Amino acid sequence: MIVFINDHPIRLVGPKAASHLTSSLHQQAFTDFDRILDARLGILKEDALQGHLLILNTTPATIDKILLLLQKTKASHLLSITLGCLDKDACETAIKKPFKIIKAAGGVVFKGNKMLMIFRRGVWDLPKGKLDDGESSRQAAAREVEEETGVRVSVNERVCTTWHTYALNGSRILKRTKWYRMNALDDSRMAPQEEEDIEKIGWFDQRQIKLNLANSFSSIRYVVDSVSEIANQSIDK
């Protein structure tokens, strides 16, 4: 599970994956982190939230402390946290507990080699939105894409699931979004949905996508990377 808290990626892994990271056979993995801490050996402090951080032996109490620190500070030098959980299910429950969960779905839409992106509230994004009552994630993803962009699509495989936090009317929200790869069927009525604060939309090639992602969210970069990874795996096969 990966959760984007204040746009910081927080990845939760179980004991087996944590052991893999710290095994003497995989010392190269240590170069992926700027700092490695053991939650049993000390109190987690604000100054630890820097670079790529690995925290071993994480418990729900550790999660509570991290959430409190991230609520109190901007952690502007933090790039990511990987949590090696003693009980992954318990840690996932703990990280969700303080938030109201909203379910959403979105699409990564392609027309040939170009991808659809929207510009909303000053950043580049992908079309997505909340599920209606009784609606499946696939149905919601297609509906939201058409509502926000005017593009009619066919829905293919699920790419990934993201969780990201934000504040709304004083509530702390954790949005779960299921992402699907899509193909454009008809973009003759393509237009930004202004009531959703979408200023512009367009089809972009790989070079333009990279430029757009420099002004986007970490969660959106993760989704685009996941699409590329799936495509590369298909080529390798």
Residues 126 and 207 in one domain: yes
Cβ 232 vs Cβ 156: under 8 Å: no
pLDDT digits (tens, 9 = 90+) for 78-128: 999 999 999 999 999 999 999 999 999 999 999 999 999 999 999 999 999
Residues 87 and 123 in one domain: no
Which of residues 47, 71, 96 is at a domain's end? 96
Q: How far apart are CA 90 and CA 168, in angstroms?
A: 26
| Residue 102 parent element (H or E) | strand 100-111
Instruction: Output the pLDDT for position 160.
Output: 95
Which of residues 51, 71, 96 is at a domain's end? 96
CATH of the domain at 130: 3.90.79.10
Residues 123 and 210 in one domain: yes
Could you tell me the CA-to-CA distances from 21 to 10, 39, 66, 85, 226 in Å, in that order? Answer: 16, 16, 21, 12, 21
Residues 120 and 231 in one domain: yes
Comparing CA positions, the residue from 104, 102, 97, 89 lying closest to residue 12 is 89
Instruction: Output the pLDDT for position 25.
Output: 47
Instruction: Output the pLDDT for position 170.
Output: 84
Instruction: Output the pLDDT for position 74.
Output: 85
Q: How far apart are CA 49 and CA 35, in angstroms?
A: 9
Percent of the chain residues past pLDDT 70, beyond the cut: 93
Instruction: Output the pLDDT for position 87.
Output: 96
What's the structural domain count of the chain?
2
Task: State the residue range of the domain holding 35.
Answer: 2-96
pLDDT digits (tens, 9 = 90+) for 224-236: 999 987 766 655 5
Residues 23 and 58 in one domain: yes
Comparing CA positions, the residue from 81, 92, 79, 100 lying closest to residue 170 is 100
Question: pLDDT per position in the chain (237 positions), as tens?
Answer: 999 999 999 999 998 888 877 664 455 556 778 898 999 988 888 989 999 999 999 999 999 999 999 988 888 899 999 999 999 999 999 999 999 999 999 999 999 999 999 999 999 999 999 999 999 999 999 999 999 999 999 999 999 999 999 888 888 999 999 999 999 999 999 999 999 999 999 999 999 999 999 999 999 999 999 998 776 665 555
Which of residues 96, 131, 160 is at a domain's end? 96
Residues 54 and 149 in one domain: no
Cβ 187 vs Cβ 111: under 8 Å: yes
**CA 197 to chain CA centroid, nearest Å:** 21
Residues 43 and 60 in one domain: yes
Residues 13 and 58 in one domain: yes
Residues 112 and 90 in one domain: no
Residues 133 and 90 in one domain: no
Residues 36 and 123 in one domain: no
Residues 224 and 143 in one domain: yes
